[in-house]
Amino acid sequence: MDNCIFCKIIAGEIPSNKVYEDDNVYAFRDINPQAPVHVLIVPKKHFANILECDAETAAALTDAIRAVAKQEGVDESGFRVISNCGPDGAQSVNHLHVHLLGGVKLAERMA
Ligand code: 5GP
Ligand code: ZN
């Protein structure tokens, strides 16, 4: 989608630190990490947020979450996945993405 920063990252028009890629999903390190492991997992197809995504994309994201967690070595220690949605969710980039956070004991409260 024009003017979408994550579409530009997926297309390689904006550089990113790639962690994982398959036919449907691209994952890269967050530019402003909130934990030792902070990866953004993004469908290649543009959806504004989780309300819009189709079942195939949701399944592809789940597969990618598992692959990234293993690859980053947090599958046994544990991790958190978050997808911010809309104004009250503090979504700042309107291309569906999942944050995968780990590598540290995260706060028990999320908000
Ligand atoms: P949101 O607030 O929408 O849930 O998350 C957007 C995330 O994208 C933020 O954590 C922010 O640091 C990250 N981000 C924004 N622009 C860029 C960028 O150009 N490159 C990377 N790697 N991350 C970005
Ligand atoms: Zn996009």
97 is a catalytic site residue:
yes
User: Is there an atom of ligand 1 within 6 Å of 7 CB?
Assistant: no
- 95 CA distance to ligand 2 middle (Å): 5
SS3 content of the chain, % helix, strand, coil (to 5): 20, 25, 55
Q: What is the rounded CA–CA span in Å between residue 12 and residue 17?
A: 11
Domain span at residue 49 reads: 5-102
| Confidence at 110, pLDDT banded by 50, 70, 90 | confident
Domain presence at residue 110: no
Residue 111: pLDDT band (50, 70, 90) is confident
Q: Could you tell me how far CA 101 lies from the centroid of its own chain?
A: 10
What average pLDDT score do residues 29-48 get? 98
User: Which of 3, 93, 101 best tests ligand 1's pocket when mutated (most atoms within 8 Å of CB)?
Assistant: 93
Nearest-angstrom CA–CA distance, 44 and 76: 28
**Phi, then psi, of 67 in degrees rounded to 5:** -65, -45
**Which ligand lies nearest to the CA atom of residue 1 in the structure?**
2
Residue 59 placed within a domain: yes
Q: Could you tell me if residue 48 is inside a domain? A: yes
β-bridge mates for residue 29, sequence order: 39
Query: Is the CB of residue 30 below 6 angstroms from any atom belonging to ligand 1?
Result: yes
Domain assignment of residue 111, yes or no: no
CATH number of the CATH domain containing 29: 3.30.428.10
- State the residue for tokens 């104004």: 87
Query: Which pLDDT belongs to residue 29?
Result: 98
Q: Is residue 22 part of a domain?
A: yes
* Residue 108 included in any domain: no
Mean pLDDT score of the chain, rounded to an integer? 97
pLDDT tens digits for 63-93? 999 999 999 999 999 999 999 999 999 999 9
How many other C-beta atoms can be found within 10 angstroms of the C-beta atom of residue 28? 20
Is the residue at 107 inside a domain?
no
Residue 1: its pLDDT value, please? 81
Residue 47 within a domain: yes
C-alpha–C-alpha distance, residues 109 and 111, integer Å: 6
Number of domains the chain is built from:
1
